[in-house]
Amino acid sequence: MRLILVILAAIWTLPAAALDLNAPFTNIDGGTLKLSDWAGQPVLVVNTASRCGFTDQYEGLQALYDRYQSRGLIVLAVPSGDFRQELASNEEVKDFCTLTYGIDLPMTGITSVRGAHAHPFYVSVAKDVGFTPAWNFNKILIAPDGTVAATFGSTVRPLSSILTDEIEPLLN
Protein backbone atom coordinates (compact mmCIF):
# COMPACT_ATOMS: atom_id res chain seq x y z
CA MET A 1 0.00 0.00 0.00
CA ARG A 2 2.81 2.38 0.89
CA LEU A 3 4.46 1.80 -2.50
CA ILE A 4 1.20 2.63 -4.27
CA LEU A 5 0.91 5.90 -2.31
CA VAL A 6 4.51 6.83 -3.18
CA ILE A 7 3.88 6.17 -6.87
CA LEU A 8 0.61 8.16 -6.83
CA ALA A 9 2.33 11.08 -5.06
CA ALA A 10 5.08 11.07 -7.69
CA ILE A 11 2.53 11.12 -10.52
CA TRP A 12 0.53 13.97 -8.97
CA THR A 13 3.64 16.10 -8.49
CA LEU A 14 5.00 15.75 -12.01
CA PRO A 15 5.60 19.17 -13.55
CA ALA A 16 3.32 20.38 -16.33
CA ALA A 17 4.58 19.88 -19.85
CA ALA A 18 7.01 22.62 -20.76
CA LEU A 19 6.29 25.00 -23.60
CA ASP A 20 8.54 24.52 -26.60
CA LEU A 21 10.06 28.00 -26.80
CA ASN A 22 13.17 26.81 -28.65
CA ALA A 23 11.54 25.40 -31.76
CA PRO A 24 12.56 27.72 -34.60
CA PHE A 25 10.01 29.57 -36.69
CA THR A 26 10.90 30.74 -40.17
CA ASN A 27 11.30 34.52 -39.98
CA ILE A 28 9.28 36.23 -42.72
CA ASP A 29 12.33 38.49 -43.28
CA GLY A 30 14.64 35.49 -43.68
CA GLY A 31 16.42 33.23 -41.24
CA THR A 32 14.74 31.93 -38.12
CA LEU A 33 13.50 33.18 -34.79
CA LYS A 34 12.65 31.45 -31.52
CA LEU A 35 10.43 32.53 -28.66
CA SER A 36 13.37 31.82 -26.36
CA ASP A 37 15.15 34.76 -28.05
CA TRP A 38 12.84 36.92 -25.91
CA ALA A 39 13.31 35.08 -22.62
CA GLY A 40 12.42 37.33 -19.70
CA GLN A 41 9.98 39.38 -21.78
CA PRO A 42 6.23 39.00 -22.27
CA VAL A 43 5.36 37.79 -25.77
CA LEU A 44 1.93 37.92 -27.38
CA VAL A 45 1.77 35.25 -30.09
CA VAL A 46 -1.07 35.77 -32.59
CA ASN A 47 -1.98 33.47 -35.47
CA THR A 48 -2.95 35.77 -38.31
CA ALA A 49 -4.39 35.69 -41.83
CA SER A 50 -4.52 38.32 -44.56
CA ARG A 51 -8.00 37.51 -45.87
CA CYS A 52 -10.02 37.19 -42.68
CA GLY A 53 -12.80 39.26 -41.16
CA PHE A 54 -10.42 39.95 -38.26
CA THR A 55 -7.49 41.07 -40.46
CA ASP A 56 -8.02 44.68 -39.39
CA GLN A 57 -6.62 43.59 -36.01
CA TYR A 58 -3.19 44.00 -37.58
CA GLU A 59 -3.63 47.73 -36.99
CA GLY A 60 -4.33 47.12 -33.29
CA LEU A 61 -1.48 44.64 -32.97
CA GLN A 62 0.95 47.20 -34.36
CA ALA A 63 -0.45 49.89 -32.01
CA LEU A 64 -0.13 47.50 -29.05
CA TYR A 65 3.48 46.76 -30.02
CA ASP A 66 4.23 50.46 -30.42
CA ARG A 67 2.67 51.24 -27.03
CA TYR A 68 4.48 48.59 -24.99
CA GLN A 69 7.62 47.65 -26.91
CA SER A 70 9.79 50.02 -24.86
CA ARG A 71 8.57 48.22 -21.72
CA GLY A 72 9.51 44.79 -23.09
CA LEU A 73 6.44 43.48 -24.93
CA ILE A 74 6.99 41.50 -28.10
CA VAL A 75 4.03 40.93 -30.41
CA LEU A 76 4.71 38.04 -32.78
CA ALA A 77 2.42 37.57 -35.78
CA VAL A 78 2.24 33.99 -37.03
CA PRO A 79 0.56 33.95 -40.46
CA SER A 80 -1.28 30.67 -40.94
CA GLY A 81 -3.15 29.09 -43.81
CA ASP A 82 -4.89 26.58 -41.55
CA PHE A 83 -8.24 28.30 -42.03
CA ARG A 84 -7.67 28.88 -45.76
CA GLN A 85 -7.55 32.66 -45.45
CA GLU A 86 -3.85 33.38 -45.94
CA LEU A 87 -2.07 34.52 -49.07
CA ALA A 88 0.03 32.03 -51.04
CA SER A 89 3.56 33.08 -50.08
CA ASN A 90 5.58 34.75 -47.35
CA GLU A 91 6.48 37.55 -49.75
CA GLU A 92 2.81 38.29 -50.46
CA VAL A 93 2.00 38.29 -46.74
CA LYS A 94 4.92 40.58 -45.92
CA ASP A 95 4.01 43.01 -48.72
CA PHE A 96 0.33 43.03 -47.71
CA CYS A 97 1.08 43.66 -44.03
CA THR A 98 3.69 46.33 -44.71
CA LEU A 99 1.75 48.21 -47.36
CA THR A 100 -1.71 47.93 -45.81
CA TYR A 101 -0.94 48.18 -42.09
CA GLY A 102 2.64 49.45 -41.79
CA ILE A 103 3.59 46.36 -39.81
CA ASP A 104 7.11 46.30 -38.39
CA LEU A 105 6.47 43.87 -35.53
CA PRO A 106 8.15 40.46 -35.78
CA MET A 107 6.46 37.99 -38.11
CA THR A 108 7.04 34.35 -38.88
CA GLY A 109 6.63 32.77 -42.25
CA ILE A 110 3.35 30.98 -42.98
CA THR A 111 3.05 28.38 -40.21
CA SER A 112 0.58 25.67 -39.28
CA VAL A 113 -0.92 26.28 -35.82
CA ARG A 114 -3.18 23.23 -35.47
CA GLY A 115 -3.54 19.66 -36.63
CA ALA A 116 -0.96 17.12 -37.69
CA HIS A 117 1.47 19.72 -39.05
CA ALA A 118 1.21 22.23 -36.19
CA HIS A 119 4.40 24.02 -35.16
CA PRO A 120 5.96 22.48 -32.01
CA PHE A 121 5.19 25.64 -29.99
CA TYR A 122 1.47 25.25 -30.71
CA VAL A 123 1.62 21.52 -29.96
CA SER A 124 3.21 22.30 -26.59
CA VAL A 125 0.57 24.95 -25.77
CA ALA A 126 -2.17 22.43 -26.55
CA LYS A 127 -0.53 19.88 -24.24
CA ASP A 128 0.32 22.38 -21.48
CA VAL A 129 -2.90 24.39 -21.21
CA GLY A 130 -5.31 22.74 -23.65
CA PHE A 131 -5.47 25.72 -26.02
CA THR A 132 -5.54 25.32 -29.79
CA PRO A 133 -6.42 28.24 -32.05
CA ALA A 134 -10.04 27.88 -33.12
CA TRP A 135 -9.73 30.58 -35.78
CA ASN A 136 -7.43 33.33 -37.00
CA PHE A 137 -6.27 36.03 -34.57
CA ASN A 138 -6.30 33.82 -31.48
CA LYS A 139 -3.79 35.13 -28.97
CA ILE A 140 -1.42 33.44 -26.53
CA LEU A 141 0.28 35.61 -23.91
CA ILE A 142 3.58 34.17 -22.73
CA ALA A 143 4.79 35.50 -19.37
CA PRO A 144 8.45 36.50 -18.88
CA ASP A 145 9.02 33.17 -17.07
CA GLY A 146 8.02 31.25 -20.22
CA THR A 147 4.59 30.08 -19.04
CA VAL A 148 1.23 30.77 -20.64
CA ALA A 149 -0.24 33.76 -18.81
CA ALA A 150 -3.52 33.86 -20.77
CA THR A 151 -5.19 32.91 -24.04
CA PHE A 152 -7.74 34.88 -26.03
CA GLY A 153 -10.08 34.20 -28.92
CA SER A 154 -10.43 36.13 -32.16
CA THR A 155 -13.00 38.58 -30.86
CA VAL A 156 -10.66 40.03 -28.22
CA ARG A 157 -9.27 43.18 -29.85
CA PRO A 158 -5.56 43.96 -29.36
CA LEU A 159 -6.15 47.23 -27.46
CA SER A 160 -9.06 45.95 -25.37
CA SER A 161 -8.75 46.19 -21.60
CA ILE A 162 -9.34 42.42 -21.42
CA LEU A 163 -5.96 41.97 -23.11
CA THR A 164 -4.02 44.99 -21.84
CA ASP A 165 -5.02 44.24 -18.23
CA GLU A 166 -3.21 40.89 -18.60
CA ILE A 167 -0.17 42.39 -20.35
CA GLU A 168 0.54 45.42 -18.14
CA PRO A 169 1.54 43.52 -14.95
CA LEU A 170 4.12 41.58 -17.02
CA LEU A 171 5.91 44.66 -18.37
CA ASN A 172 9.14 46.26 -17.16
Burial pattern 13-45, b for ≥16 Cβ within 10 A else e, equals eeeeeebbbebbbbebeeeebebeebeebbbbb
CA 105 from centroid of its chain's CA atoms: 13
Choice among 52, 129, 143, 156 that is catalytic: 52
Active site residue 52: yes
For residues 102 and 68, what is the distance between their CA atoms, to the nearest angstrom?
17
- DSSP type of residue 168: G
Catalogue the active-site residues.
Answer: 52
